[in-house]
Structure 1
Amino acid sequence: MNDKREAPSSNWFTGGAEYATFRPSYPTQVSGFLAEHTSATGVAVDVGCGTGQLSTQLADYFDRVLAFDPSESQIASATEHPNVAYEVASAEALPVLDAAADLVTAAQAAHWFTLPDFYAEARRIGRPGALIALVSYGILRISDQDVQERFGRFYYDEIGPYWDPERRYVDEGYRTMPFPFEELDAPELSIDADLDREAFLGYIGTWSAVRKAEQQGRSDLFQNFTSDIVDIWGDNGRPRQVSWPVAVRVGRL
């Protein structure tokens, strides 16, 4: 299988403020599990960190977190934490010393990387026995069946053609992604939240496929979906229960 990735044709994650506001937080069990299984908790390196959703949680378990993302706007909007140092950098060229990291993570990001180059960097910066972890969350489920049905049509039929091919790895929970490491068993987790209508639509508005569709003159797709959700949701603004399945692949470097 050829695991060479093409970089996205455009940076779909330039809206750092919206990303920070609407993207979900990972279960704290992810960071706890990783810290428990590392040989040391000195330095964690979070690659493709976005606005720091996982970076800040790792900082509760590791002395120092080095967090990198290629998007300047993502880094500019990142959540500050005294133990986290953010920097603009790509996964394939990390400004980290050799054998410096106890843990290398990539959360909802590895499917964008040129994997052989990223894996080479992870091996370079990892200390003997260090861990590498790829974390992703899949397609959300909504408790309200009417909202769920409209969401499904939007995800698969309407905005579906605008996802980059790499999106399939997220849908598959990273199970089919090449992972040439001694793999550890990881817990099955989920992100569970109550979202109001604005938060629900705000999250979907951060999708790369929505931004790509807008660039290609199909802003009507999200506009029509938004209008339908407003009608289905109703006037009371009652939050709906949503859940994202979380996949964690962990290996020894």
Structure 2
Amino acid sequence: MSLDRFSTQAADYARYRIDYPAEFYAWLLPQVIGRERAWDCATGNGQVAVVLADHFVRVDATDLSEKQLAQATPRANLHYQTARAEQTPFPNQRFDLITVAQAVHWFDATAYHAEVRRVARAGALLAEWGYGLVQVSPEIDRLIRYFHDEVMGQYWDVNRWHIDDEYARIPFPFAEVQRARFSVQRQWSAEWFLQYLRTWSSVVKYQHETSEDAVELIAAELTQRWGPGERKVVFPVFARSGKL
């Protein structure tokens, strides 16, 4: 069952998390037969739903977190509501496209995929994607990996490790499966990057349990390695799609 892990950092999540490149949507949208209705599941602050709203008559976007939805951008044809991924209020055979970004690993995949089949129209497309550990430079990447694996290791939900193998252990029993890779590049300062780290669910859990900021454990060293100004940061994106 999907659980709400991101309400606490909802405002920071909206500000410091990445969106997805035009190349990704150029891969995704031509696969969709109809353009009447789309559902963006686990929409968070609506960053994907807003893009879809430019291409569909109506977009429904759901999330467990009311605080996340409070950060979402409104559109006339975009309708936000709280709902679990595995159980929605939608009628049968509703959607031409169903999307879920950086969230399938939190779901009961079997129940979620059953719900997808219920609400999808014949020939609809399901797309699931996520992104792996950020890459900056060899010396900084080593520090990030140490922080991710060693310092934060026990604070990650076990499902988070599905990201490392790009959902290979989460079944995807659909037709005409396609897979693709993309990269998201940004120019960030050390301060901005540290704020991004504070959106990690493991960091939030650490703070809940210890009343301390885990990012401070590496902040000084990372800032020193980063240097003044901005650096390019790269997020590797993996995606899969299938027909229903």
| TM-score, normalised via structure 2 length | 0.93
What SS is found at the alignment partner of 2:218? Answer: helix
| Counterpart for residue 233 of structure 2 | 242
| Counterpart for residue 214 of structure 1 | 207
Query: Kindly, what percent of the aligned residue pairs are identical?
Result: 36
State the Cα deviation string for residues 157-176 of structure 1 (Å, max 9, x = none). 11122111111111111122
Amino acid at match of 2:107: F
Amino acid at match of 1:214: Q
| Counterpart for residue 115 of structure 1 | 109
Closer, same or farther: CA 38–220 of 1 in aligned 2, 3 Å: closer
Task: Please tell me whether residue 36 in structure 1 is matched to residue 27 in structure 2.
Answer: no
- 1:43·1:62 contact (CA, 8 Å) conserved in 2? yes
Amino acid at match of 1:152: R
User: Within 2, Cα distance between the matches of 1:79 and 1:174?
Assistant: 29
| Counterpart for residue 127 of structure 2 | 133
User: Within 1, Cα distance between the matches of 2:213 and 2:42?
Assistant: 30
Closer, same or farther: CA 177–150 of 1 in aligned 2, 3 Å: same
Equivalent of residue 69 in structure 1, options 63, 84, 101: 63
User: Within 2, Cα distance between the matches of 1:152 and 1:218?
Assistant: 23
User: Within 2, Cα distance between the matches of 1:31 and 1:13?
Assistant: 27
What SS is found at the alignment partner of 1:92? Answer: coil
- 2:182·2:236 contact (CA, 8 Å) conserved in 1? yes
What RMSD in Å do the two structures reach over aligned CA positions? 1.7
User: Within 1, Cα distance between the matches of 2:158 and 2:178?
Assistant: 27
Task: Please tell me whether residue 196 in structure 1 is matched to residue 189 in structure 2.
Answer: yes
Task: Please tell me whether residue 233 in structure 1 is matched to residue 220 in structure 2.
Answer: no
- 2:20·2:184 contact (CA, 8 Å) conserved in 1? yes
- 1:99·1:128 contact (CA, 8 Å) conserved in 2? yes
State the Cα deviation string for residues 173-218 of structure 1 (Å, max 9, x = none). 1122111111422332111111112221111110101011111217
Closer, same or farther: CA 177–199 of 1 in aligned 2, 3 Å: same
Equivalent of residue 27 in structure 1, options 21, 26, 31: 21
- 1:43·1:103 contact (CA, 8 Å) conserved in 2? yes
Closer, same or farther: CA 45–211 of 1 in aligned 2, 3 Å: same
| Counterpart for residue 86 of structure 1 | 80
Equivalent of residue 153 in structure 1, options 141, 146, 159: 146
What SS is found at the alignment partner of 2:76? Answer: coil
Amino acid at match of 1:176: R
Closer, same or farther: CA 202–97 of 1 in aligned 2, 3 Å: same
User: Within 2, Cα distance between the matches of 1:134 and 1:148?
Assistant: 26
Offset of residue 116 of structure 1: 1.6
State the Cα deviation string for residues 9-40 of structure 1 (Å, max 9, x = none). x6344321111000001122333322211111
| Counterpart for residue 106 of structure 1 | 100
User: Within 2, Cα distance between the matches of 1:239 and 1:121?
Assistant: 43
User: Within 2, Cα distance between the matches of 1:88 and 1:169?
Assistant: 25
User: Within 2, Cα distance between the matches of 1:108 and 1:252?
Assistant: 20
User: Within 2, Cα distance between the matches of 1:222 and 1:198?
Assistant: 11
Q: How many correspondences in the alignment?
A: 244
Amino acid at match of 1:219: E
Amino acid at match of 2:62: F
Q: Kindly report structure 1 stretches of 4+ aligned residues shifted beyond 6 Å.
A: none
* Residue segments in structure 1 that go unaligned for 5+ positions in a row: 1-5
